[in-house]
Structure 1
Amino acid sequence: MSGAWQEEPRTRGLYRDPQRGKIAGVCAGLADYFGVEIWIVRLLAISGLIFAGFITFFAYCAAWLLLDKRPQRLTDDGILMKERSWQAGSTPRQALARVSRELESLEPRLQTLERLVTSREFNLRREFNKL
């Protein structure tokens, strides 16, 4: 694969993200780690505070104290790298064009996979593997 998917290597560690967070960045860090929107994690945290207040509060404070801040990634030029295209100053039209180019570059690979899966050879190999 080429394009922006490989331009930004993700740090898979669990970190706090104070720049995107409201209080300490714990919810933002969890959202980044699990790949969900921040508001979903915040909603879960508020629900946890309502239904299990002490445990949720203690877990949040522990995460605040134990988790490191998210390291800032730098480009080759030493400029801070933005994580999403709309944060990097591109317009929605430019972001859509970039995503469209990436999808078009993936189309030949998808066609190759479709040909393989629908071929007789694939079915024959699958039947042999079942034995």
Structure 2
Amino acid sequence: MNTRGELTRDPDKGKIAGVCAGVAEYFGIELWLVRILVVSAFFLTAGTFVVVSYVAAWFILEKKSARQGHAQFKSARYTHREQSSSGKGWHNANDEEDEKVKVKSKVWQSGEPPKQAFADIKQRFEKNEVRLRQIETYVTSAQYQLNREINSL
């Protein structure tokens, strides 16, 4: 199982209030499985208990904040700044955080199947290779040497 954080509800992924989405993320299982369990519990037990519990969780659990929604892994994306008043060189072009690839080994776990995870990782490496080639092209260019000479004056 994943390292558990705080139990919150996720209205962005949820159908009604995001309680099932929060529980699924907390326990590291697929959202559809939690929904099936809740609906089954409603029909197989006293339905009022399940409804009261769901509504109570709706009011007790806090909403998931935007910062909690991103993975802790942060990848800097750099692009070259052209001649502008803001400066020269390389800067962080996108403050968006990349999520870690989660691989599931069982159907009920959250994450991607291994083949899909491998394809996603391969795609990320290809994007990084293109960016690295762009950086190398700039660093080996005459423009870079000229900018370096001017800055050293």
Q: What range describes the TM-score normalised by the shorter chain of this pair?
A: 0.5 to 0.7
User: Corresponding residue for 1:95?
Assistant: 120
TM-score by length of 1: 0.53
TM-score by length of 2: 0.46
- Structure 1 residue 60 and structure 2 residue 54: aligned? yes
Q: Distance in 1 between matches of 2:99 and 2:35?
A: 20
Tell me the SS of whatever aligns to 2:43: helix
Q: Distance in 2 between matches of 1:29 and 1:21?
A: 8
Note the C-alpha offset of 1:32: 0.2
Which stretch shows the higher mean deviation, 68-77 or 55-64? 68-77
1:18 and 1:25 in contact (8 A); partners too:
yes
Gaps of 5+ in 1: 1-9, 86-91, 101-131
Which has the larger Rg? 2
- Structure 1 residue 51 and structure 2 residue 44: aligned? yes
1:16 and 1:24 in contact (8 A); partners too:
yes
Q: Distance in 2 between matches of 1:47 and 1:99?
A: 40
Note the C-alpha offset of 1:97: 2.1
How big is the alpha-carbon RMSD for the aligned residues of Structure 1 and Structure 2? 3.2
Residue deviations 1:60-103 (CA, integer Å, cap 9, x gap): 00000110001212668794546466xxxxxx575142799xxx
User: Corresponding residue for 2:138?
Assistant: none
Residue deviations 1:23-56 (CA, integer Å, cap 9, x gap): 1000000000000000000000100111121111
CA distance 1:96–1:79, change in 2 (3 Å): closer
Gaps of 5+ in 2: 77-91, 102-115, 126-153
Q: Give the structure with the higher percent strand.
A: 2
Identity rate, percent: 38
Q: Give the structure with the higher percent helix.
A: 1
CA distance 1:94–1:63, change in 2 (3 Å): same
